Structure formats: structure tokens, C-alpha cells
Amino acid sequence: MLENVGATIEQYMNLVSARQKLVASNIANADTPGYQTKDIDFKAELENQMPGLKPNVIEVSGLKTKNDGNNVDMDREARLLAENALRFSVASSLAHSEISTIRTAIEEAGKV
């Protein structure tokens, strides 16, 4: 029973973590000539997420390319950092709530 508890939340948090790593890489390469912004299609990956699989990394199209070939948009990356922090916080709260519910159920069962 406990093995399945939070499995979806865990997969969601893994996906958020993977995106966070990509955003950090984009920021780290903001001044690297020729670097192309990378991301994941979050919605598609969430729908298709299988345990243990890494998300498909894509190059982001439609961003303004600088003279050196780099297309990292720091405003976009800052927005994604904030979005990821919010997503992780919500997922952490949900996981905590599930654990608290199970703990309460176990404690109540012990009183019977």
C-alpha cells in the first residue's frame, strides 16, 4: 500500500527537478556563443511520465538569437525558476499531506 502512496507526486517532483536543472544550465550558458536554450514540454512529459524515464529535452524555438548564436532569454529563465519553485512547493505540500493522512490512519487504527 505504501509503495503507491505519492508515486504520482514523486514523478511530478522528478519532472520539476529535471526542468530546474535545464533552466540552471540555460542560465549558466547565457554567455556561451552558439548555445541554444533547452527545455522540456512539461505538459506532454507529465502526461507521458513513466517511472525511471528521463524527460525528452528539446531546444526551444521562437527565442531571439543574439549575434553570437546564443538564444538564452534571462527573463524567461527567471520566470521558469519562479514557476518551478512554486510547483515544487505545491508538490511538497501534497506529499506532506498524504503522509500526514496515512500517519493519522495508522494512529487511529492502533487505538481500536
In a domain, 2, yes or no: no
What are 108's strand-pairing partners? none
Specify the 3-state DSSP secondary structure of 112: coil
In total, how many domains does the chain have? 1
In a domain, 26, yes or no: yes
pLDDT tens for 63-95 read 999 999 999 999 999 999 999 999 999 989 988
Q: Which of 74, 42, 79 is nearest to 58 (CA)?
A: 42
In degrees rounded to 5, what are phi and psi of residue 39? -160, -175
pLDDT tens for 15-53 read 899 999 999 999 999 999 999 999 999 888 888 876 667
Specify the 3-state DSSP secondary structure of 30: coil
The three cell numbers of residue 4 are 503507491
Rounded to an integer, what distance in angstroms lies between the CA atom of residue 86 and that of residue 112?
Answer: 40
In a domain, 45, yes or no: yes
Rounded to an integer, what distance in angstroms lies between the CA atom of residue 44 and that of residue 93?
Answer: 23
Q: Are 3 and 89 in contact (CB under 8 A)?
A: no
In a domain, 36, yes or no: yes
Range of the domain at 26: 7-111
